[in-house]
Structure 1
Amino acid sequence: MKNYLKGAPATAVIAVACIAAWLASAAQAGTLNAPYYRSELALDSTLWGPMFASAPYTAVTSAFTHLDATHLVLNMVVLVFIGREVERAVGTATYVAAYATAVLGSAATILWADFDSPTVGASGALFALMVLLIGVYRHRGMDLRAPIVLVAVNVVYTFIAGDVSLWGHAGGLFTGLVLLPFVFARQARIRWLGIGAVAAVAIVALSFRAGLWG
């Protein structure tokens, strides 16, 4: 795995952070069996509309928090295999900016569309990575069917599964689509202005939901 992630340091760090957060919640809960529900640390990291004004940091911490081992493993597999390809294709700096923006975009969508639902998990940002993977394939001149099918299958899964965040996934998917032309822009100025603008919109949306404005 170390060799596999060579050239993708940010993906490795994000994965380690998610695993560390889960282990910390398990240690606090004293169990490996769904420690989220018995961990104050995990609960305090959850994105939940009614508490967001007093805990705006949860827009970020929720993306590193997972319900149980299955939830964590599934998300980390997607992160490692897709994140590596995206990071190596666009560069670590652009990748980190895009991932962070996707986290914020997904959180903002949840708070505006599903305010009362507590949400955790990296899957919102991972949906953005799936979209960006299409850009990687296009950039490399590869057949686009595989990444498009990957996105389509996960969209279908979102609607048929009963334990996933519909709006978190939708927010990540939409953020990825908006980021796509900027992440792969040839001119650095356009790339960074575009990503910055998308991030700014997400931050403003989150700020309104936190009651900072309006």
Structure 2
Amino acid sequence: MYPEPPAPTCFRHSNRPTGLACTRCGRPACAECLRPAAVGQHCVDCLRQDQRSAPQVRTVAGAPAPRSAAPLVTYALIAINVVIYAITAAQANSLVGDQRRSVLFIDWVLFPPAVASGEWWRVLGSGFLHFGLLHLVINMFALYIVGRDVELVLGPLRYIAVYLVSLLGGSAAVMVLAQNAATAGASGAVYGLFGAITVILIRLRRNPNAMLITIGINVFISLSLPGISLWGHLGGLAAGTLATVGILFLPGWLRVESPATVRLLGWGAVATIAIAALWIVVVSAITLTV
């Protein structure tokens, strides 16, 4: 009589005898180290190898598909705007629109002659200021409604890039066409996101009419009500739209297929719009000093 051979043990837990094995690699494994598969069961090592070798799922913009549906960048932008508004409201001792008494508001508001004198931070900083609580609530509501969808399609990095480029575009338009106005608010960036979501809908072959009507109504309001920066809105709309077109359509127009080149072209388009907006700001500042 020959002694029975010892029972195989789990390849990860040598103290656990097992009669099970991975149907892919054949190694013995305990129940804790196996996962159900279409045929049999696979060990955790084989599953990890499959995950590493599988191509990454990407959106139409070339961004990695988000693991979470939470629009974290949108939440962060809203939080930054709210915090800055709280600081200006505390400094001005007012919630209803008297932010001009705030030191931070005075230092950051977009006033083209001040930019021309060297205060370049106003070009971006003004996009995080608001004239009152109602102004803040309207812009943040629009940012939440539109921004979360744009973020999920473009991905966090492209989304924040389009947001900032839209803000720059709005400031550039103000520098050229509203040189005596004091302008503030996230509206230029939000209008850029209006343009971005419209381009996304067209790229996905969805009906963009609802967004086109929304943009038309908002432009009409900008024309009709005093004190609203029409040029800041239109500049942001143009910059955000063009940047998103560059991300979603330019590679197809150039018939580029390499994923790396597609991403490079998209970033190049965003950078081109940003450089153009900065160039307009610089030229306008120079003309104001002459």
Is the structural similarity TM-score above 0.5? yes
Q: Deviations over 1:107-160 (max 9, x none)?
A: 011001111100000111111110111122223332211111111111111111
**Correspondence 1:1-214 to 2 at 5 A:** 6-53=69-116, 54-185=118-249, 187-211=262-286
Give ranges in structure 2 of 5+ residues lacking alignment. Answer: 1-67, 252-261
Computing the radius of gyration from Cα coordinates, the structure with the larger value is 2
- Percent identity over the alignment? 27
Instruction: Give the whole-Å Cα distance in 2 for the aligned partners of 1:150 and 1:160.
Output: 15
Tell me if structure 1 keeps the 8 A contact 2:162–2:244: no
Change (3 A) 1:33 1:181: closer
SS in 2 for 1:99: helix
Mean Cα deviation higher: 174-183 or 42-51: 174-183
| Backbone CA RMSD of aligned residues | 1.9
Mean Cα deviation higher: 174-183 or 162-171: 174-183
Give 1:44's aligned amino acid: D
Instruction: Give the whole-Å Cα distance in 2 for the aligned partners of 1:92 and 1:127.
Output: 18
The structure with the largest helix share of the pair is 1
Instruction: Give the whole-Å Cα distance in 2 for the aligned partners of 1:130 and 1:170.
Output: 11
Mean Cα deviation higher: 18-27 or 170-179: 170-179
Q: Deviations over 1:46-79 (max 9, x none)?
A: 0001111331100001000000000000000000
Instruction: Give the whole-Å Cα distance in 2 for the aligned partners of 1:33 and 1:173.
Output: 27
Normalised to the residue count of structure 1, the TM-score between the two structures is 0.92
Q: CA deviation at 1:211?
A: 3.2
Normalised to the residue count of structure 2, the TM-score between the two structures is 0.68
Q: CA deviation at 1:177?
A: 2.9
Q: CA deviation at 1:12?
A: 1.2
Q: CA deviation at 1:208?
A: 2.3
Q: CA deviation at 1:6?
A: 4.5
Instruction: Give the whole-Å Cα distance in 2 for the aligned partners of 1:180 and 1:6.
Output: 21
Instruction: Give the whole-Å Cα distance in 1 for the aligned partners of 2:204 and 2:245.
Output: 15
SS in 1 for 2:286: coil
Q: CA deviation at 1:163?
A: 2.0
Q: Which has the higher contact order (CA 8 A, sep 6+)?
A: 1
What is the number of residues matched between the two proteins?
210
